[in-house]
Structure 1
C-alpha cells in the first residue's frame, strides 16, 4: 500500500461526542483543549522555511470567543502544541478577527505548501479541517429550497432553517491511474495549460452509479483512447481542493489491443507519452512531475522503484 502524506491520521474523530447539542461548550471546559484557526484555507505554521512545518494550535481562551467552532476530534499523538488525547477545535476566521485576536503576527500557509512535510497529527487535522471548511463555505444555503442553513452537530452537519432538512458533508471520489504497457512503460499526460515538460498520470471523477474499477476503464479510454484491464488498487488519500478523494490504481494496457495508439482527448489532455524507467532517469532534471503531496507522484515513483529527484523538487514547486 502506498504511503501518502494526506492519508496520515492521528485523530480520533470521536463521532459520538458530536451528537450532543452542547458538544462544543462541553469540550471548551476541558483543560487541554486546543484550537486551530483557519483563514481562507490557511493556518498558522512554524518551521516552513527549514523544511519541518508544524501547525500552531492555541488555548481556548485566546480563540473561543468566536462562535461556530467545529470539533475535529481527539489527538492520538503528542506534539509540541498538542497533548495526547487533547480535543481539537477548528475556528474559521475572517481577516478582521485574525487582527482582533492578535494572530496576524504568525505566518499562515496553505496545505499545498506544507502538507508533504507535516507529522501524522497535523496532516490529518489540516486535511480534515480544510475539507470541512470548504464544505461549510459552499453550503450556507439549502440545496433543495435555497433557504439559509445553520451549523449543528459540532460542525458536522447543517440544518435548513425553512424545513429542517439536515445536510451532510460529501466527498467526490476520483480515480487516478498509472497505465502500464507490455514494455513496462508508464503513460503520462499533459494538459494544455501546463508548462513545457510537465507530466502526470491520468485521472477522472467517478460517475453516478459507477464502480471504481469501471471508472478506471472508462476514463483511460475517454482521455487517452487506450483500453486497459486488471485495475489494481494502490491506496487513497483525501484531496480537499475542494472535496475529492483520490483513489490510486495501476492498470495494464489491454493485451488484446497492444497496438492502439494513445491519443489525447484534446479537452483535458493535450499531450501523451509513454515513458520507460530509463527515460525518466535520463530526463529527470528537465521533468516537472507532480509534487510530493500528490498521490500521482507516489504512483509514478512506485512504478519507477525509487525516489525521483526532478525539476519540481529542484525548484521547490
Structure 2
C-alpha cells in the first residue's frame, strides 16, 4: 500500500497561482476540468465511485468561487462548491477506490472547500476577507492579513504488546466496528508526546518504542493523520468511557475469527487506520523491519 507515500502527480503550482490572470487563463484552457462538491463535502463521481466525474468549465471564471486545485499531467483541475447532480461520495466512502492522483484531487478539494465554508471572516480582526491564490488563501480587506487553510495534526497509533497482540477499541456510535486509537496533538506537544498521552488517557496503557508509519490528509474538516506503531509495556486496560465504549487485545487469529463471524468490523480502506491494521495482519514488524 503506497497511498500518500510517493510524490504526488498533482502539481499545486504554488508560485504561479498568485496571479489571478494566470489562473483565469487556465480556466479557459480547452482541457480544463472542474470537480463539483456539495455543501456536505461530497463530490461528483462516476457510477460506483471509482473515478471522479469532472466536467469542462462553461461559465466565466469567478476568483471567489472557482478554486485551482493544480495541474495533473498539465491539465488544469478546478473545484467549485455548487449544486451537484448524479452520483456523489466523500473520501470515507470511495477514498480506497479512487486512483491515487484523483485521491489527491478529492482530498485537496474537500479540505479547501471546508475551510472557505467555515472561515469566511478574518480570524485576526473578524473583518471580511476575499479569496486569493486561486482559492488557497484569503486576504482580509480590513486589516490586510493573508490567511491560509489550517491543518490540525492528529496521531493514530497501532499499539501492540510483547505477544504481538493489537489493541483495538470502539465507540458506541460505531456499532460493532473497532479501530486503532487516535487523538489530536495539543498545543505545545510533539506527535510522540501526544501518542503517550492519548493511549494513557483512553486505556491507561504505557508505551516504550514508537515507529512512524505514514501520514494521511483527512479533511473532515482539516486533519492530518500521523500514523505510528507503538509497543506497549503494560497490558491491563482501563477504558475512559468518555472516549471509548470498549477496548481489547487481539491476536491475528482472534481478530480474523471475529471478523468472519460478523461480530466485528474494521475501518474502511480509505483510512490510514485500515492500512495500519492490515500491516499488522500481514505480519510486518515495524520495530525490526521484518516481514
- Return the TM-score normalized by structure 2: 0.90
Query: Which residue is equivalent to 2:123?
Result: 143
Q: Indicate yes or no: 2:67 matched with 1:92.
A: no
Query: Which residue is equivalent to 1:301?
Result: 278
| Distance 1:265-1:236 versus aligned 2 partners, 3 A rule | same
**How far did 1:111 drift?**
2.3
Instruction: Find the aligned partners of 1:169 and 1:154 in 2 and give their Cα distance.
Output: 13
**How far did 1:220 drift?**
0.7
SS in 2 for 1:46: coil
Query: Which residue is equivalent to 1:237?
Result: 216
CA contact (8 A) 2:63 2:131 kept: no
1:268 to 235, 240, 243: 243
Instruction: Find the aligned partners of 1:191 and 1:60 in 2 and give their Cα distance.
Output: 43
Query: Which residue is equivalent to 1:101?
Result: none
CA-to-aligned-CA distance 1:46-83 (integer Å, 9 cap, x gap): 131xxx611111112257478521111110xxxxxxxx
Query: Which residue is equivalent to 1:312?
Result: none
Q: Indicate yes or no: 2:194 matched with 1:215.
A: yes
CA contact (8 A) 2:20 2:63 kept: no
Q: Which 5+ residue runs of structure 1 have no aligned equivalent?
A: 76-83, 99-103, 307-317
Please provide the CA RMSD for this pair. Answer: 2.0
CA-to-aligned-CA distance 1:114-172 (integer Å, 9 cap, x gap): 21100122111001100000111111111122222110111111111211111111111
CA-to-aligned-CA distance 1:199-238 (integer Å, 9 cap, x gap): 1110010111211111111111111101001110011110
Q: Indicate yes or no: 2:58 matched with 1:61.
A: yes
**How far did 1:8 drift?**
8.2
Instruction: Find the aligned partners of 2:45 and 2:30 in 1 and give their Cα distance.
Output: 23
Query: Which residue is equivalent to 1:47?
Result: 47
Q: Indicate yes or no: 2:181 matched with 1:202.
A: yes
Query: Which residue is equivalent to 2:289?
Result: none
Instruction: Find the aligned partners of 2:145 and 2:136 in 1 and give their Cα distance.
Output: 14
SS in 2 for 1:3: coil
SS in 1 for 2:187: coil
Instruction: Find the aligned partners of 1:63 and 1:218 in 2 and give their Cα distance.
Output: 51
CA contact (8 A) 1:23 1:154 kept: no
**How far did 1:188 drift?**
0.7
| Distance 1:65-1:242 versus aligned 2 partners, 3 A rule | closer
**How far did 1:6 drift?**
9.7
Single out whichever of 38-47 and 120-129 deviates more from structure 2: 38-47
Equivalence map 1:108-127=2 (5 Å): 108-127=88-107
Aligned length: 280
Q: Which 5+ residue runs of structure 2 have no aligned equivalent?
A: 284-291
SS in 2 for 1:193: helix
